[in-house]
């Protein structure tokens, strides 16, 4: 049987990094098995769902490259949107009532509370077993007369549901501890359990890969599937993501929406690689950098860890830096030029783009996220608008600063040719004749031309900046020293 998996987010929030990992594992499994990856919209919570969230989920799945083969937003038969399928859910609920697997329930919330309290006092299970309901004939009559009722699933007791979770191993749930759960609300809307199970059966889902928070729902879904005459899927429940403090990942730990990572300049390939490692050793040889193709080739659902994984942006930053260094220069320019031009407020001329391209190999080495690029090179393409205060204090308010600036102006004014190599030679000679260390002698030059102590390598930067502009900036800084 060919593999069919689904990612089924509720559009009640932006795509979360934990949900993205769930989507990724579904995607990798489908691709590894030559199966079908389906996107479903679990939008039955109408109060909390919104189109904005739905759009965000689609946009970021596409940004990550996790293209789905069937499902929401692709056209074709079926919308894969639960709010379009209320009739189908109601029909299944009616069939289950008909077969005796479910029943109309009239118990009130107060009665249920009392039931649970009494059970606790008596030391019996508080799981509701339908014992407060009228006889089936009377229930049918009251329902057909229009009395408000929900539909509950009749959990067979005594009994147990046993299944083997691919990640967590053998699972056993005593039915005595499981409520006769609601599948259809009194207004005709399905609960999550009904909608999710009917869809999994109707769409022929073979493997349900989802978060561990849904583990306790699984016996209910298996019981429902069997009552519908379906074959239960294989289940794999993924460990949850934690923050570095070992607590469930939340906004307290920083951004959890995928959009924030995209905006901050992370590459989708790096994000996928990083997410894949949260609970899976993608490679045998300790190499954490693994391409999507290799991940697909190696993916093994059974090898996922059942331990919670820590989402650590430091590791993600590192990973992103690796992917940035691996970009070829053309791709790097294409990705960073728009941001640079936005920061400048104008387009670069062809000649300036060439200058930028000359610096790319150096800038790549120092970049963890893409927006850092324009920060590093802006000074080359616009006049300096002052100096970073801390940098100025640290290196300009020293006895060596004036000596270094004067020496550099003299050494560079007639330098020909104006190449990195020649600049390097001239400035090193100057350091030697003035008796300055590289640190004390070059940092003032860096601040003078770039405005701060942090910039790409100095000699290359000066070559790109050009002689006239370099000398002008050195003089301007020297004048500030007075
Ligand atoms: N819609 C559920 C959620 O967003 C997931 C349902 C499922 O995977 O069964 O948490």
Domain locations in the chain? Answer: 1-70+239-326, 85-238, 329-378, 389-481
Looking at residue 475, its pLDDT comes to 97
The minimum-distance atom of ligand 1 relative to the CA of 211 is 8
How many whole angstroms separate alpha carbon 459 and alpha carbon 425?
Answer: 10
Assigned architecture for domain 389-481: Orthogonal Bundle (1.10)
Kindly give the interhelix angle for 467-481 and 458-465, rounded to the nearest 10 degrees: 110
In terms of Cα–Cα distance, which of 399, 394, 379 is closest to 456?
A: 379
Query: Is the shortest distance between the CB of 10 and ligand 1 below 6 Å?
Result: yes
Measure Cα distances from 423 to 240, 409, 467 in Å.
Answer: 55, 12, 10
Largest distance between two CA atoms of the chain: 107
Measure Cα distances from 217 to 7, 178, 265, 267 in Å.
Answer: 16, 10, 37, 35
The minimum-distance atom of ligand 1 relative to the CA of 7 is 8
Looking at residue 16, its pLDDT comes to 97
Ligand 1, from 4, 8, 81, 232: best to mutate by most atoms within 8 Å of Cβ? 8
364 classed as catalytic:
no
Q: Which of 251, 314, 368, 440 is catalytic?
A: 251
Looking at residue 1, its pLDDT comes to 76
Measure Cα distances from 26 to 19, 281, 343 in Å.
Answer: 11, 16, 39
Angle at the Cα of 466 from the Cα atoms of 395 and 479, rounded to 5 degrees = 40
DSSP 231: P
End-to-end Cα spacing for the chain: 82
DSSP 151: E
The minimum-distance atom of ligand 1 relative to the CA of 6 is 8
Ligand 1, from 214, 221, 232: best to mutate by most atoms within 8 Å of Cβ? 214
Measure Cα distances from 32 to 3, 36, 70, 274, 448 in Å.
Answer: 10, 10, 17, 19, 55
Looking at residue 377, its pLDDT comes to 93
The minimum-distance atom of ligand 1 relative to the CA of 22 is 8
CB 210 within 8 A of CB 104: no
Query: Is the shortest distance between the CB of 210 and ligand 1 below 6 Å?
Result: yes
How many whole angstroms separate alpha carbon 255 and alpha carbon 262?
Answer: 11
Helix (H, G, I), strand (E, B) or coil at 397: coil
How many whole angstroms separate alpha carbon 375 and alpha carbon 356?
Answer: 13
Say which CATH class 85-238 falls into: alpha beta
The minimum-distance atom of ligand 1 relative to the CA of 42 is 1
Please name the residue whose Cα sits nearest to atom 6 of ligand 1.
8
Residue 42 Cα to ligand 1 midpoint, Å, equals 7
pTM of the model: 0.89
Helix (H, G, I), strand (E, B) or coil at 165: strand
Query: Partners of 443 in the beta sheet?
Result: none
Looking at residue 282, its pLDDT comes to 78
Domains 1-70+239-326 and 389-481 share a fold: no
Looking at residue 251, its pLDDT comes to 87
* Encoded tokens for 346: 């104008």
CB 66 within 8 A of CB 24: yes
Please report the DSSP string for 204-230 in residue order. T--EEEEEGGGGGGHHHHHHHHHHTTP
Q: Is the peptide bond before 374 cis (omega within 30 degrees of 0)?
A: no
How many whole angstroms separate alpha carbon 313 and alpha carbon 307?
Answer: 19
CB 363 within 8 A of CB 376: yes
Residue 44 Cα to ligand 1 midpoint, Å, equals 11
Residues 6+ apart with CB under 8 A from 147: 106
- Going from the first residue of the chain to its last (482 residues), give the mean pLDDT of each consecutive group of 10, the final group possibly shorter: 95 97 98 98 96 98 98 90 97 97 97 96 96 93 95 97 98 96 97 98 98 97 98 97 92 93 95 96 79 95 94 94 95 94 95 92 91 92 94 94 97 96 97 95 96 90 94 97 82
Query: Is the shortest distance between the CB of 214 and ligand 1 below 6 Å?
Result: yes
Looking at residue 227, its pLDDT comes to 98
Query: Is the shortest distance between the CB of 22 and ligand 1 below 6 Å?
Result: no
Query: Is the shortest distance between the CB of 237 and ligand 1 below 6 Å?
Result: no
Burial group, residue 298, by CB count within 10 angstroms (0-12, 13-18, 19+): middle
Query: Is the shortest distance between the CB of 18 and ligand 1 below 6 Å?
Result: no
Looking at residue 149, its pLDDT comes to 97
Judging by DSSP bridges, how do beta strands 309-310 and 241-242 pair with one another? parallel
Q: Which fold has domain 1-70+239-326?
A: Rossmann fold (3.40.50)
Residues 6+ apart with CB under 8 A from 267: 320, 323, 324, 327, 370
Backbone angles phi, psi at 63, to 5 degrees: -60, -40
Measure Cα distances from 193 to 218, 240, 389 in Å.
Answer: 9, 21, 60
């Amino acid at each position: 049987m060919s593999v069919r998996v689904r990612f089924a987010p509720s559009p009640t929030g932006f795509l979360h990094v934990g949900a993205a990992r769930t989507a990724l594992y579904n995607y990798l499994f489908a691709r590894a098995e030559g199966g079908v990856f389906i996107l479903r919209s679990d939008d039955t919570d109408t109060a909390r769902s919104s189109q904005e969230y739905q759009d965000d989920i689609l946009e970021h799945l596409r940004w990550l490259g996790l293209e789905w083969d069937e499902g929401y937003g692709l056209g074709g038969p079926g919308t894969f949107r639960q709010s379009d399928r209320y009739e189908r859910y109601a029909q299944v609920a009616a069939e289950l009532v008909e077969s005796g697997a479910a029943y109309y329930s009239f118990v009130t919330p107060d009665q249920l509370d009392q039931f649970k309290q009494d059970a606790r006092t008596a030391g019996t299970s508080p799981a509701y077993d339908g014992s407060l309901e009228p006889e089936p004939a009377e229930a049918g009559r009251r329902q057909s007369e229009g009395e408000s009722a929900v539909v509950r699933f009749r959990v067979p007791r005594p009994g147990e549901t046993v299944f083997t979770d691919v990640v967590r191993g053998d699972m056993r749930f005593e039915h005595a501890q499981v409520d006769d759960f609601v599948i259809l609300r009194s207004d005709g809307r399905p609960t999550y359990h009904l909608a999710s199970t009917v869809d999994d059966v109707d769409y022929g889902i073979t493997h349900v890969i989802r978060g561990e928070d849904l583990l306790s729902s699984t016996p209910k879904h298996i019981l429902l599937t069997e009552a519908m005459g379906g074959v239960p899927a294989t289940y794999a429940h993924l460990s949850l993501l934690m923050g570095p403090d070992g607590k469930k990942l939340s906004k307290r730990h920083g951004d959890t929406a995928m959009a924030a990572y995209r905006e901050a300049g992370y590459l989708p390939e790096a994000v996928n690689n990083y997410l894949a490692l949260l609970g899976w050793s993608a490679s045998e040889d300790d190499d954490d950098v693994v391409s999507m193709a290799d991940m697909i080739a190696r993916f093994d659902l059974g090898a996922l860890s059942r331990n919670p994984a820590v989402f650590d942006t430091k590791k993600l930053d590192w990973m992103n830096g690796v992917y940035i260094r691996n970009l070829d220069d053309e791709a790097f320019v294409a990705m960073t030029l728009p941001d640079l031009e936005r920061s400048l407020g104008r387009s670069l001329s062809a000649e300036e783009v060439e200058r930028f391209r000359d610096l790319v190999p150096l800038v790549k080495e120092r970049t963890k996220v893409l927006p850092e690029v324009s920060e590093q090179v802006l000074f080359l393409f616009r006049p300096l608008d002052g100096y970073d205060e801390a940098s100025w204090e640290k290196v300009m308010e020293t006895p060596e600063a004036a000596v270094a600036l004067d020496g550099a102006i003299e050494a560079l004014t007639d330098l020909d040719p104006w190449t990195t190599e020649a600049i390097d030679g001239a400035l090193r000679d100057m350091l030697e004749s003035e008796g300055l260390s590289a640190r004390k002698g070059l940092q003032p030059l860096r601040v003078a031309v770039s405005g701060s102590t942090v910039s790409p390598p100095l000699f290359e930067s000066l070559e790109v900046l050009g002689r006239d502009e370099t000398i002008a900036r050195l003089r301007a800084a020297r004048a500030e020293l007075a």
